[in-house]
Amino acid sequence: MTRVSGFKGLSKGDLPGIDDKMEAILDALNKPIEECVGALQGGINDDNLNCETRTVEVFHSTETKVTLQKIKGSCIGAQPLWNSVFEPCSIAMDNIGENQVRIKCFFHVVPAPTDKVKVTIKFIGE
C-alpha cells in the first residue's frame, strides 16, 4: 500500500465546464471522501510500506532464489498470499545477499505437487 499525501477530491479545476450547482455537489461529496481516505491511510503501518509482492513458480520443498527490487534493507519475512493449488503452504526464507532471498515452499496437501506451482508472496522488509 502507498500513502497518498495531501489527497484532495475533485474540484472545478479538474472538471472544466461544470456549473456552480455541480461544484457545490462535488464539494459536499469530497469532504466525507477525504475523511475516509485519511482514516484508511492511518491504518497503513510501516510494514506495509516496506514490502514487495511477487509471483514466482516453485517446486514443492525446493530452493528458489528471488531477487527483490522494492525492499529497503534486509527482508525479514515472507507471507504466502495465494497459490495455484489452492492449498495452504508454508515458506522458509533466508537472505543470501543484497536484495536476494532463498525460499522453500511447502504445500500442505497429499500427495505434494510434482509440477511447478505459482505462488504469490508478500516479502516484508525491516
Is residue 120 scored above 50 in pLDDT?
Answer: yes
Contacts of 124 (CB under 8 A, 6+ apart): 47, 50, 51, 71, 75, 76, 77, 78, 79
What is the pLDDT, as a whole number, of residue 41?
A: 63
Distance (Å, whole) CA 85 – CA 43: 32
In one letter, which amino acid is 74?
Answer: S
pLDDT by residue (tens digit) across 13-70?
Answer: 777 788 888 888 888 887 787 777 766 665 555 546 789 999 999 999 999 999 999 8
pLDDT at res. 16: 79
Q: What is the CA radius of gyration of the chain?
A: 22
**Boundaries of every domain in the chain:** 1-44, 47-125
User: Whole-prediction pTM value?
Assistant: 0.63
With beta carbons less than 8 A apart as the criterion, state whether 65 and 25 touch: no
Compute the mean pLDDT over every residue in the chain, rounded to the nearest whole number. 84
The larger pLDDT score, comparing residue 13 to residue 98, is at 98
79 pLDDT tier (thresholds 50, 70, 90): very high
